[in-house]
Amino acid sequence: MRHAFVETYYQATVEKTAYPGLDGRVETRVCILGGGLAGLSTALGLAERGVSDVVLLESHSVGHGASGRNGGFVFAGYCLGNAELFKVLGREEARRLYRLTIDAVELIRQRVRQYGIQCELTDKGILLANWFNDPARLEQPRQLMKEVYGVDWQHVAPGELREMLKTERYFGALFESNAFHFHPLKYVYGVAAAVAGHGIDIHEHSAALAIEPQGGKYLVRTTHGEVLAEQVVFAAGGYARGLYRPVERATLPIATYVVATEPLGERLREAINCEAAVYDTRFAFDYYRPLADSRILWGGRISILNRGPQAIAGLLKADLVTVYPQLADVQLDYAWGGLMSYGRQQMAQIGRDDNGVWHAVGFGGHGMAPTTVAGEVLADAIAKSIPIPQGFARFGLVPTCGLLGLVAAQATYTACQVRDAYDAHRLNP
Ligand SMILES: Cc1cc2nc3c(=O)[nH]c(=O)nc-3n(C[C@H](O)[C@H](O)[C@H](O)COP(=O)(O)OP(=O)(O)OC[C@H]3O[C@@H](n4cnc5c(N)ncnc54)[C@H](O)[C@@H]3O)c2cc1C
């Protein structure tokens, strides 16, 4: 490993537009806190509905959080699994919420076209590869998707899969064709540019410090300024600390990690001989995809520890070599981590609390489409008074119990990983 891992692959391959810090007092209709995709999608949704009297505050730079660090998989569904969503909401409401994410996948495609966002969108689907020698692990989700959600995930036989992924690790796959992968930070910057193009003020390096009610409005303070707004949207993800307790106490910051290899040239095809992105059927699955410059972007692990890049590189290199031993000698050029925000029920939390503050948090590790859903739903609610779909109310702001919650989460993750390792030992030859 040759690099000091000072920046992410995404940061190293994008041109950044800077937005000024907030200085002084402004008044606005809507103040959005957080320049990830939840905040930016809400801002763009508002602008597209004719509401541009909006100020967006970002504590670092736009895309600093999970939205600019993730695996770049864009597919329907939420971090709460499709089977659990059905169990909790029943067919009709689960289908309705799932449908919103299908629409969001299409809306992302449309915005990429409409705003000319160059984000290496690779519309070649996503493979769910079976880690276990147990066909039911694919058959059950395939049937669920068909029967409950009306979606066809196609079966890929083991032999066919081995032509696409040159590894003995998998036992077939499901192919989700209505899915793609892209450079998420380029997409974030493109959405930010579209937002700014609609006349909305984005302020970077302007952390919101507090939200205070004031005469029927909300005063949001930053170090060098303040915003008086009729409405406030909290969209600060897993990175917010000490800003607004009712939302923050309902989510836990959970880490996951990513690396990018050196460019592999022809060797890429000796491992990944297709353009689809890939994840697997374990709880803490690997997720990876080929990049246009012949690198592999590889992600994995779920932990309460936000580890440093050297430790991440060591862990994920071992994971990569477990699946593709033929790549044992490749170098990693980039390694980084990111924080996801998870609610107690592991479902996106979109709504308005008792103080009248809107929120869009808890997207976990499956946030590209759902943050876009949040943007649409909140923009409809704020600009047009359209009620938020009923199903989201089922996943309210339930306290996660801070440190205790983190320890419990880690215990659950470890138990799931041990179960998966045991099942693989038991089932696989
Ligand atoms: C490594 C990794 C891989 C992932 N892979 C995928 C994937 O492949 N596909 C997928 O769908 N999802 C993936 N996810 C999940 C997805 O990235 C997130 O669910 C989504 O980006 C969340 O967006 P967000 O806007 O809620 O949060 P964030 O993107 O984290 O944005 C929150 C923003 O708020 C800012 N902020 C914090 N405090 C303040 C404050 N006081 N004032 C102002 N701003 C503040 C932060 O700096 C940050 O920019 C992944 C996540 C990670 C971490």
In this prediction the pTM is 0.96
The ligand 1 atom at the shortest distance from the C-alpha of residue 368 is: 11
Compute the C-alpha angle 298/301/303, nearest 5°: 145
CA 40 – CA 372 distance, rounded (Å): 9
Nearby residues of 287 by Cβ (< 8 Å), 6 or more positions away: 71, 73, 277, 278, 279, 298, 299, 300
**Element housing 259 (H / E):** strand 251-261
What pLDDT does residue 159 have? 97
DSSP 284: T
Closest residue by CA, ligand 1 atom 27? 237
Q: Which amino acid is residue 93, in one-letter code?
A: E
Residue from 41, 101, 187, 340 to probe ligand 1 pocket by mutation (most atoms less than 8 Å from CB): 340
Please tell me the distance between residue 424's alpha carbon and the centre of ligand 1 in angstroms: 32
The ligand 1 atom at the shortest distance from the C-alpha of residue 369 is: 11
What pLDDT does residue 403 have? 79
Please tell me the distance between residue 340's alpha carbon and the centre of ligand 1 in angstroms: 6
What pLDDT does residue 423 have? 86
Ligand 1 proximal residues by C-beta, below 6 Å? 33-39, 57-60, 64-67, 69-73, 207-208, 235-240, 243, 256, 258, 287, 299, 338-340, 361, 363-368, 371
Q: What is the mean pLDDT of each run of 10 residues along the chain (429 residues)?
A: 78 95 98 98 98 98 98 98 97 97 98 98 98 96 98 97 97 98 98 98 98 96 97 94 92 94 97 98 94 97 86 96 97 96 92 96 97 98 97 88 78 85 87
Class of the CATH domain delimited by 9-424: alpha beta
DSSP 299: E
The ligand 1 atom at the shortest distance from the C-alpha of residue 75 is: 11
Q: Is the dihedral of CA 362, 222, 406, 254 positive or negative?
A: positive
Residue from 67, 187, 256 to probe ligand 1 pocket by mutation (most atoms less than 8 Å from CB): 67
Helix 184-197 × helix 82-114 angle, to 10°:
60
Q: Is 384 exposed, middle or buried (0-12, 13-18, 19+ CB in 10 A)?
A: exposed
Q: Which amino acid is residue 240, in one-letter code?
A: A
What pLDDT does residue 2 have? 54
3-state helix, strand, coil in the chain (%, to 5): 40, 25, 40
The ligand 1 atom at the shortest distance from the C-alpha of residue 68 is: 29
Closest residue by CA, ligand 1 atom 26? 237
Residue carrying structure tokens 């984000």: 119
Q: Is 99 exposed, middle or buried (0-12, 13-18, 19+ CB in 10 A)?
A: middle
Three-state secondary-structure class, residue 342: strand
Q: Where are the domains of the chain?
A: 9-424
